[in-house]
Amino acid sequence: MRKEEKQEVVSALTEKMKEYGNFYITDTSSLTVAKINNIRRKCFEKEIGMQVVKNTLIKKALEQLDGDVSPLFEILKGSSSIMFSTNANAPAKLIKELRKGKEEKPVLKAAYVDSAVFIGDNQLEALVNLKSREELIGEIIGLLQSPAKNVISALQSGGNKLAGIVKTLQEREG
């Protein structure tokens, strides 16, 4: 690969990292071509981008990101593939699903989720349980709606009493 081609790969990789905001670096070494193709197909179905890239190019792309990504440099050994997703926990769920059988791979090397760095395969369960931005917004809206619903419900159930109280207060003023 020529120097210009490498620079293009690095800039494209950096753009993807910034665009998606979430990426997982995994080890897929020793998997057959058929298994890799199966992983790619499942990634496509779940709107997860997957790319196999040399570690040196990943490191150069990481260096162009804002924030401290230096802990990710240590895991760049062996064969690496990157999974990109706008949904923070989608790749983690996919990795867990892929490993339900006898498979031990793909192994999670690291994940970068909204500027937080997760190192090691032991972080997979924590990443699976992360809530997406949409889920968090939905929960907040639900929490905000709950008190308003209680007030409206109380007003509707005691509607006759409230109307009587308002009418009595108006008559006293008059």
Q: How confident is the model at residue 159 (pLDDT cuts 50, 70, 90)?
A: low
Give me the CATH number covering residue 111. 3.30.70.1730
Same domain, 66 and 117: yes
Q: Which residue has the higher pLDDT, 140 or 110?
A: 110
Residue range 47-64: mean pLDDT, rounded: 93
Closest by Cα among 43, 19, 22, 17 to 85: 22
Res. 160: pLDDT tops 70 = no
Same domain, 147 and 69: no
Q: What is the pLDDT of residue 167?
A: 67
Same domain, 19 and 105: yes
Per the listing, tokens 């090691």 go with 120
Same domain, 31 and 103: yes
Angle between helices 159-173 and 133-157 (to 10 degrees): 60
CA 17 to chain centre: 12
Res. 164: pLDDT tops 80 = no
Q: How confident is the model at residue 168 (pLDDT cuts 50, 70, 90)?
A: low
Res. 46: pLDDT tops 70 = yes
Helix (H, G, I), strand (E, B) or coil at 23: strand
Residues 6+ apart with CB under 8 A from 75: 25, 109, 110, 119
Same domain, 89 and 104: yes
Strand partners, 149: none
Same domain, 114 and 166: no
Residues 46, 52, 53, 55, CA torsion sign: positive
Q: How confident is the model at residue 138 (pLDDT cuts 50, 70, 90)?
A: confident
Expressed as residue numbers, the domain containing 152 is: 134-173
Enter the tokens of residue 93. 């769920």
Q: What is the pLDDT of residue 66?
A: 85
Residues 6+ apart with CB under 8 A from 124: 92, 95, 96, 108
Total domains in the chain come to: 2
Residue range 37-43: mean pLDDT, rounded: 92
The alpha helices in the chain, defined as continuous H runs, are 3-20, 33-45, 55-63, 90-98, 124-128, 133-157, 159-173
Same domain, 104 and 157: no
Same domain, 142 and 125: no
Same domain, 41 and 78: yes
Q: Which amino acid is at 99?
A: R
Same domain, 122 and 164: no
pTM: 0.75
